[in-house]
């Protein structure tokens, strides 16, 4: 299959409305979208990514008017979160509208919903006839794509169209809050921190880490994720890497350690998040075998970075 790269939201939306799948930019990471009313199109997403069939997709909307097409009831906690954080890097889990296909939600009675803030994403979604289900636009298990070239590297020949936009400004996937339970629960950390969520809905519970392995509430959390081919070695703040190999790289916030040629020194946690996945991919292209990753402080977006780093490193243990 030929993969076209376009900057036209109209062209990209036409593919969606014809039952095809399209990668598109958002402020978190690029998504791989399909019309939620087309089971055939949704199946193409799973096939192109090699995604396990029990891992549900997030539905993307362009305005709050589309909520009723996707969700069946909206509890007060969700209303407050939506009011404060939509559009933006937040996904809320709600009971689904019975019309929403089981393929979108992988058989769950709930559905994840997000309204991206990115103007290109919004314009694209406005031109799509129905809401658009979209996981991150990467081969399953690989780092999420934060620019169109990463999408193209992973999915060329497997999807007909990439909507080209700028690099995703946040660089990590959305914060996910399950509002179908009481009290609501944080399922995935992201740019919107637990502290800011609790400023709006104080009773939100943090997710528990052992649920990664024991039937997690968010099915995707049990799969390996975010992994480059290189081995990931985590370094707590201030600790230099223990062993250095010639073919290694370093990403972190503090000073560059000696003896490592390829480094990404970030000014703050926000820049770390922005650069992380593209650095992983760059290291793979350059044949780096070990990436040392400094663990950022465990607050704000630092918690989301730590979560992604820990899961990227887990694959090494297998």
Cβ proximity to ligand TXA, 29 vs 128, nearer residue: 29
The answer on whether 51 is annotated among ligand-binding residues is: yes
**Distance in angstroms (rounded) separating the CA atoms of residues 9 and 84:** 27
Contacts of 186 (CB under 8 A, 6+ apart): 175, 176, 177, 178, 194, 197, 204, 205, 206, 207
176 is a contact residue toward ligand TXA (CB under 6 A)? yes
Cis amide leading into 183 (omega within 30): yes
Contact status: 38 vs ligand TXA (CB under 6 A): no
122 binds ligand TXA (CB under 6 A): no
CA 108 to chain centre: 19
Contacting residue, 38, 91, 110, 136, with Mg ion by CB under 5 A: 136
Q: Which does 253 bind (CB under 5 to 8 A by kind): Mg ion, ligand TXA, none?
A: none
Binding letters toward ligand TXA, positions 56-75, x by CB under 6 A: xxx-----------------
Cα end-to-end span (Å), the chain: 34
| Partner that binds at residue 174, options Mg ion, ligand TXA, none, CB closer than 5 to 8 Å by kind | ligand TXA
Report the residue number, 143 or 252, with the smaller CB distance to Mg ion: 143
Which residue number, 90 or 235, has a Cβ lying nearer to ligand TXA? Answer: 90
* Burial grade of 136 (CB within 10 A; 0-12, 13-18, 19 or more): buried
CA distances in angstroms from 224 to 71, 89, 129, 179, listed in the order given: 29, 22, 34, 25
Closest contact distance (angstroms) between CB of 62 and ligand TXA is: 13
Q: How many residues bind ligand TXA (CB under 6 A)?
A: 28
From the list 40-48, 64-72, 151-159, 169-177, the region that binds ligand TXA by CB under 6 A is 169-177
**Of residues 190-229, those binding ligand TXA (CB under 6 A):** 217-221
Stretch that binds Mg ion, among 49-57, 65-73, 136-144, 177-185 (CB under 5 A): 136-144
Binding to ligand TXA in span 268-307, by CB under 6 A: none
- Token pair in block for residue 114: 């997000």
The C-alpha atoms of residue 16 and residue 4 are separated, in whole angstroms, by 14
For residue 32, the minimal CB distance to Mg ion (Å) is: 9
- The 8-class DSSP code of residue 146 comes to -
Stretch 78-117 residues interacting with ligand TXA (CB under 6 A): 91, 93, 105, 108, 110-112, 114
Q: Torsion angle, CA of 302/191/233/280, rounded to 10 degrees?
A: -140
From CA 258, how far away is CA 96, in angstroms rounded?
53
What's the half-sphere exposure (Cβ side, CA atoms, 13 Å) at 67?
Answer: 20
- List, in sequence order, every residue forming a beta bridge with 58; answer none if it has no partner: 112
> Is 46 among the annotated ligand-binding positions?
no
Strand 231-235: give its sheet, edge to edge: 231-235, 290-294, 248-252, 262-265
Would you say 71 and 105 are in contact if contact means Cβ atoms under 8 Å apart? no
Q: Residue 155 touches which of Mg ion, ligand TXA, none (CB < 5 to 8 A by kind)? A: none
Stretch that binds ligand TXA, among 134-142, 201-209, 257-265, 304-312 (CB under 6 A): 134-142
Binding site listing = 28, 51, 55, 60, 110, 114, 134, 136, 144, 174, 188, 226
Interface with Mg ion by CB under 5 A: which residues? 136
Interface with ligand TXA by CB under 6 A: which residues? 26, 28-29, 31, 55-58, 91, 93, 105, 108, 110-112, 114, 134-136, 173-174, 176, 187, 217-221
């Amino acid at each position: 299959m030929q993969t076209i790269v376009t900057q036209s939201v109209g062209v990209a939306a036409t593919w969606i409305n014809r039952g095809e799948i399209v990668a598109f930019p958002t402020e978190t990471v690029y998504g791989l979208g399909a019309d939620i009313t087309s089971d055939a199109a949704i199946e193409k997403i799973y096939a192109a990514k090699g995604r396990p069939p029990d891992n549900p997709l997030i539905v993307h909307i362009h305005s709050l008017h589309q909520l009723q097409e996707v969700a069946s009831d909206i509890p007060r906690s969700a209303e407050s979160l939506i009011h404060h954080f939509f559009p933006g890097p937040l996904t809320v889990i709600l009971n689904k509208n019975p019309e929403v296909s089981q393929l979108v939600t992988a058989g769950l009675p709930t559905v994840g919903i997000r309204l991206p803030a990115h103007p290109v994403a919004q314009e694209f979604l406005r031109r799509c006839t129905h809401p658009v289900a979209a996981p991150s636009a990467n081969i399953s298990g690989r780092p999420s794509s934060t620019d169109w070239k990463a999408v193209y590297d992973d999915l060329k020949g497997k999807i007909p169209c990439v909507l080209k936009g700028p690099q995703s400004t946040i660089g990590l996937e959305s914060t996910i809050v399950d509002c179908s339970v009481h009290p609501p629960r944080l399922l995935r950390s992201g740019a919107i921190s637990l502290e800011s969520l609790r400023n709006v809905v104080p009773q939100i519970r943090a997710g528990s880490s052992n649920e990664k392995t024991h039937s997690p509430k968010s099915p995707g959390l049990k799969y390996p994720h975010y992994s480059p081919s290189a081995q990931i070695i985590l370094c707590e703040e201030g600790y230099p890497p223990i062993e250095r190999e010639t073919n290694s790289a370093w990403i972190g916030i503090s000073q560059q350690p000696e003896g490592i040629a390829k480094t990404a020194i970030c000014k703050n946690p926000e820049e770390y998040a922005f650069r992380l996945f593209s650095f992983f991919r760059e290291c793979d292209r350059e044949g780096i075998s070990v990436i040392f990753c400094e663990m950022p402080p465990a607050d704000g977006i630092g918690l989301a970075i730590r979560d992604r780093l820990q899961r990227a490193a887990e694959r090494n243990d297998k």
